[in-house]
């Protein structure tokens, strides 16, 4: 390779103009990146929510199926991002039947759907449906807000077909909820005004908060990193496109659910204090007695560590474990290292708790 004023071979391939065109192509085509490709069938539906059963090529070798409960503010395909980077695919490969509860995209007619409705009328029916299909109690696995809903459901559901409960980066104790806690504090955050102004809280408003957490230059940092990584050997453009698509495809939040989430969870911290009631019934974490696994991230800004660790003290399960992973809220669950650092540990735990 020649040195000096002549352009090197690498420069010839990667001139600035070419790189700029390639970056633009990646960003512009990200909304069409193929995602959620594992074959599935819809086995239950209610309003916008769908319960998918993933198609297995071979009979399940594990007795306990897994029901995935996703957050309300993101698309459900995050746990089945693309072949080779799909938690669903990993669970199937480990011999589980896998179900996923997709909340869909909320619309104005859903304005009065609150967290209580989701916990008492959506999740129980979906879980019972999954359980009846395979005739076995299930592992309920909730991610982020989905985890908080799953915990409430498990706390209320003494007679529900739950074999195990697993939470991924789930905020439970909001006494020290980081910047989100500060920004949504009583007297500061116009939560009533938001409910009055919107039927569904716009996805952009929620995404604004998430972006603010990472600082004003975070978006630019994404593109600076892309420009760097594009030159690296083995750069996976499809992986980048699918993740970029997911990050930029948030979903709106029903106004009543958002109001309850902010006031009863963030501001009043009722879940940990034991004063949360749903349909008149107290939601007590101590009532959760099934084997329990808590997965938390060390550098989580969305669900900071103080919010994720309290459940280990509060849950009533005698059999309880925790996996603490280096990384952030999304990265540890679906990032490049998740396949190595987290998924096998989770499926090992599930295997240990499979044949009860």
Partner 1 sequence: MTQRDEQQDPFVLWRQWYEANQNAWGKGVADATGTEAFAEMQGKMLESLVAFQKTMRDMSRAGLEALDLPTREDIARLGEIVLGLEEKIDQLPDRLARLERPPTRSGPRSAAKKKTAAKRR
- CB 342 → partner 1: shortest distance, Å? 27
Of 29 and 112, the one with the shorter C-beta distance to partner 1 is 112
Cα 273 to chain centroid, rounded: 24
- Which one of 125, 211, 305, 345 is in contact with partner 1 (CB under 8 A)? 125
Residue 182 or residue 324: which is nearer to partner 1 going by CB? 182
Using CB under 8 A, which of 5, 233, 234, 280 touches partner 1? 5
d(CA 328, CA 315): 24
User: Which of 156, 342 has the CB closer to partner 1?
Assistant: 156
* 13, 175, 188, 299: which one binds partner 1 (CB under 8 A): 188
**Of 184, 72, 164, 106, nearest to 355 (Cα)?**
164
Query: What distance lies between CA 274 and its chain's CA centroid?
Result: 24
198 contributes a contact to partner 1 by CB under 8 A: yes
In 3-state terms, what secondary structure has residue 294?
strand
3-state helix, strand, coil in the chain (%, to 5): 45, 15, 40
Q: Which is nearer to partner 1, 14 or 339 (CB)?
A: 14
Assign 59 to helix, strand or coil.
coil
**Positions 40 through 59 that interact with partner 1 (CB under 8 A):** 46-47
Sole binder of partner 1 in the list 194, 239, 247, 351 (CB under 8 A): 194
- Residues within window 70-109 making contact with partner 1, judged by CB under 8 A: 107-109
Of 21 and 55, nearer to partner 1 (C-beta) is 21
- In terms of Cβ atoms closer than 10 Å to its own Cβ (0-12, 13-18, 19+), residue 198 is middle
**Residue 7: DSSP 8-state:** P
Report, in Å, the least distance between residue 93 CB and partner 1. Answer: 34
Q: Is 13 in the site for partner 1 (CB under 8 A)?
A: no
Query: Closer CB to partner 1, residue 197 or residue 299?
Result: 197
Residues 247, 335: contact at Cβ < 8 Å? no
Binders of partner 1 among residues 166 to 185 (CB under 8 A) are 179, 182-183, 185
Q: What does the DSSP 8-state code read for residue 174? A: -
- Minimum separation from the CB atom of position 214 to partner 1 (A): 9
Question: What are the helix (H) ranges across 178-317?
Answer: 178-183, 191-197, 203-213, 218-229, 237-247, 255-260, 270-273, 305-309, 311-314
Counting contacts by CB under 8 A, is residue 199 touching partner 1?
yes
Q: Are 308 and 151 in contact (CB under 8 A)?
A: no
State yes or no: residue 228 binds partner 1 (CB under 8 A).
yes
CB atoms within 10 A of CB 249: 17
Are 292 and 320 contacting, i.e. CB atoms less than 8 angstroms apart? yes
Near partner 1 in 104-123, by CB under 8 A: 107-112, 121
Give the residues lining the site for partner 1 (CB under 8 A): 3-5, 7-8, 10-11, 16, 19, 46-47, 107-112, 121, 125, 179, 182-183, 185, 188-190, 193-194, 196-199, 212, 215-217, 220-221, 224, 227-228
């Amino acid at each position: 390779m020649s040195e000096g004023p002549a352009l090197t071979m690498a420069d010839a391939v990667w001139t600035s103009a070419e790189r700029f065109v390639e970056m633009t192509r990646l960003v512009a085509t990200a909304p069409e990146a193929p995602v959620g490709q594992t074959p599935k069938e819809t086995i239950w539906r209610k309003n916008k929510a769908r319960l998918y059963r993933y198609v297995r090529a071979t009979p399940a070798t594990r007795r306990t199926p897994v029901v995935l409960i996703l957050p309300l503010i993101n698309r459900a395909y995050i746990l089945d991002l693309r072949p080779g980077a799909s938690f669903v695919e990993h669970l199937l490969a480990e011999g589980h039947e896998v179900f996923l509860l997709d909340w869909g995209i909320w619309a104005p007619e859903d304005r009065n759907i609150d967290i209580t409705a989701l916990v008492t009328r959506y999740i129980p029916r979906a879980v019972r449906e999954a359980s009846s299909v395979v005739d076995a109690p299930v592992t309920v696995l909730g991610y982020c807000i989905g985890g908080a809903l799953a915990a409430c459901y498990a706390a209320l559901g003494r007679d529900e077909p739950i074999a195990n409960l697993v939470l991924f980066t789930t905020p439970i104790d909001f006494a020290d909820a980081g910047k989100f806690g500060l920004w949504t504090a009583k007297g500061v955050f116009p939560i009533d005004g938001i409910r009055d102004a919107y039927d569904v809280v716009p996805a952009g408003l929620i995404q604004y908060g998430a972006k603010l957490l990472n600082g004003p230059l975070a978006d630019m940092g994404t593109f600076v990193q892309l420009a760097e990584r594009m030159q690296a050997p083995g750069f996976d453009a499809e992986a980048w496109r699918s993740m970029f698509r997911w990050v930029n495809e948030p979903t709106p939040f029903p106004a009543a659910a958002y109001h309850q989430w902010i006031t009863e969870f963030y501001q009043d911290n009722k879940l940990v204090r034991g004063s949360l009631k749903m349909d008149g019934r107290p939601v007590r974490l101590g009532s959760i007695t099934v084997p329990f696994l808590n997965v938390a991230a060390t550098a989580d800004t969305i669900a900071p560590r103080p919010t994720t660790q309290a459940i280990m003290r509060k849950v009533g399960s005698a059999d309880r474990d925790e996996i603490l992973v280096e990384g952030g809220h999304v990265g540890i669950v679906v990032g490049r290292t998740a396949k190595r650092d987290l998924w096998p540990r989770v499926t090992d735990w599930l295997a240990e708790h499979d044949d009860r």
